[in-house]
Chain A
Amino acid sequence: MIVSVASGKGGTGKTSVAVNMALSVGNVQLLDCDVEEPNAHLLLHPNMHRTEPVYVLVPLINEELCLHCGECAKFCQYNALFDSPEKILFFPELCHSCGGCTLACPRQAITEKERRIGALKFGSAGDVELVYGELDVGEPMAVPIIKAVKKQIEDNKNVIIDAPVGTSCPVIETVRESDFCVLVTEPTPFGLHDLKITVQVLRKMKVPFAVVVNRAGIGDKKVYTYCKEEKIPILMEIPYQRKIAELYSKGVPFSLEMPEWKEKFQTLFNKIRKLVEE
């Protein structure tokens, strides 16, 4: 079973929920797909075993064959190629690696080469296996790294995915093919507003989901009214407690220091399993 943990608004507690759940359930693979700002390892404190670079394919132009006809630049939908009188200029950050330019070139002057945009990191803590991606600073495209992280999914494991923040392409790529998505929110106007957007995205993607309310007790009650009206189950509430916030700030998953929560996270996972099996 693949369960992703997501939220439209940042800082609602995705990573906390993902890591605490991973520590409470056996046979777990935890994937951190927030490759722009991966944080799960800061809570999990894993032993890191190895690092693997992530490459994308970009065009390699053979200047000897190139006649500057400009067909490649005309074809590229992302303006990554520009036909100047002296040479074809290539802007690697704009390239989506579709391979179209190699097909468009009438002289077969374009082949492809690999370009590094980030890395995969592998580690483990107890029986939790961790894989996370890390986008190189200055690189814009998170999606190829997210795809690389997801390739590591082991089918026989309980897979928990810490998703990136927001609702656009990185989130969509992360949540695609998940059996279930846990939406972590907080009971504030920002929390509710961004939850509503995320719900629309998940409905469009047809991924089943439910809500976990974090920092319960702050803000107002509108998240609860909304979930009731939309018939979205609330699977768990985590109260706002200074102790939880302080443990998080030190990089300690709170279920380790407050053992009653270990059971609650097991219950959460079992509820999800039941919902998926239905």
Chain B
Amino acid sequence: MKQLTILSGKGGTGKTTITASLAVLARNAVLADCDVDAPDLHMLLHPEVIKTQEFKGSKISVVDKTKCDNCGFCREKCRFDAITEAIEVDPIACEGCGVCAAICPTDAITLAERVSGYAYISKTKYGFMAHALLSPGEANSGKLVTLVRQNARILSEKENSDLIIIDGPPGIGCPVIASVTGVDTGLVVTEPTLSGIHDLNRALRLLKHFNVTPFVCVNMYDINRDNTEKIMRFCKENSIEIAGRIPFNPKVTEAMVNGKAVIEYSPESDVAKEIEVIWKKLRSSLKSGEGFQKP
């Protein structure tokens, strides 16, 4: 079983658009939406939820006011400024470390389980899907990503699927690290803007750090051809394979408005054709497990 993560560093470069079309092309891959704080893939793939799971990623301190004598020791020792002057716990700031509970002289504080979101196992037209939603204002998205990936692995074993396609979150921090550790291939979707290039660079360094084979795709490449050229040159110099270049096309937004992957909505468009090219390159590299050029 192989794993492919679509990531970007910079947000809004087209990760989900490309993931949905790859899901259509792959047939029978297991899909995992690892953007757990703002997941969007379900709007294109319309999963039917089969199973819902509570996500208990952390704990939260609870003060028993009948035992508390307002000494303020907890407030002094809390490094997250999570205890108010009135000795109440700020649920947004509390990271559930347990220091307050341990040091409270009157044992007024305990740690309680906290439900921070939900994980789902679903069925789509194009294969099974693991996804999740972090509750508003909750932390620990990295742990929820790990749960989504576990669910995807279980699904792929059950369904005898040989590929998991992971839609990653933007950035390079904890949920992104959780989305790329242990995967075979990372497809970095970038755009030919200065921010796109800057963030591509950091995303590629992250893949190298975690020993994941990189591919690059330049989306909306015709917005700035000079910058596209720069990206191509950079990739060539660093022996990173370009999976493809996708032109700007309003059909992409139209497809989104119609709740469809662009490859279903407009299969003859230049965008759809290029995504097919990208898929062929990724597939042959994932299948062979060879021909990978390590950065």
Residues in A lying within 8 Å of B, measured CB to CB: 8-12, 15, 34, 36-37, 39, 42-43, 75, 77-78, 96-100, 103-104, 135, 137-142, 164-172, 176, 188-190, 193-194, 197-198, 200-201, 204-205, 218-220, 242, 245-246, 248-251
Contacts of B9 in A (CB 8 A): 36-37
B62 in the interface, Cβ–Cβ < 8 Å?
no
- Give min CB distance, B2 to chain A, whole Å: 23
Whether B97 contacts A188 by the Cβ 8 Å rule is no
Whether B172 contacts A201 by the Cβ 8 Å rule is no
Q: A10-B10, A103-B99 are in contact. Are A248 and B139 (CB under 8 A)?
A: no
A190 to B92, CA, bound (A): 26
Q: A165-B170, A190-B43, A193-B40 are in contact. Are A39 and B177 (CB under 8 A)?
A: no
Whether A103 contacts B256 by the Cβ 8 Å rule is no
Whether B134 contacts A189 by the Cβ 8 Å rule is no
B205 in the interface, Cβ–Cβ < 8 Å?
yes
Whether B202 contacts A137 by the Cβ 8 Å rule is yes
Q: Which 10 A-B pairs have the closest CB atoms?
A: A10-B11, A11-B12, A98-B97, A140-B174, A36-B171, A249-B224, A251-B194, A200-B136, A249-B193, A39-B195
Residue of A100, A140, A249 touching B97 (CB-CB under 8 A): A100
Residues in B lying within 8 Å of A, measured CB to CB: 8-13, 16, 35-38, 40, 43, 58-59, 77, 79-80, 92-93, 95-99, 102-103, 111, 134, 136-142, 169-177, 191-196, 198-199, 202, 205-206, 209-210, 223-224, 227, 250, 253, 256-257, 259
Contacts of B176 in A (CB 8 A): 36
- Give min CB distance, A119 to chain B, whole Å: 13
Contacts of A176 in B (CB 8 A): 92-93
Contacts of A104 in B (CB 8 A): 102
- Give min CB distance, B104 to chain A, whole Å: 12
A140 to B171, CA, bound (A): 10
The chain B residue with its CB closest to the CB of A164 is B171
The chain A residue with its CB closest to the CB of B206 is A137
What are some 29 contacts across the A-B interface (CB < 8 A)? A37-B199, A39-B10, A39-B194, A42-B195, A75-B98, A75-B102, A99-B79, A99-B99, A100-B97, A103-B77, A103-B102, A137-B172, A137-B202, A138-B206, A140-B142, A142-B173, A165-B11, A165-B38, A169-B139, A169-B140, A169-B141, A170-B171, A200-B137, A201-B136, A201-B137, A219-B256, A219-B257, A242-B223, A249-B224
A189 to B40, CA, bound (A): 9
Residue of B35, B99, B172, B257 touching A189 (CB-CB under 8 A): B257
A246 to B224, CA, bound (A): 7
- Give min CB distance, A44 to chain B, whole Å: 11
- Using A8-B38, A168-B134, A188-B257 as known contacts, list a sample of 16 further A-B pairs with CB atoms less than 8 Å apart, ordered by residue number in A: A11-B13, A36-B170, A42-B198, A98-B98, A99-B99, A137-B205, A138-B177, A140-B173, A140-B177, A142-B171, A166-B35, A167-B38, A167-B137, A189-B40, A197-B136, A249-B227
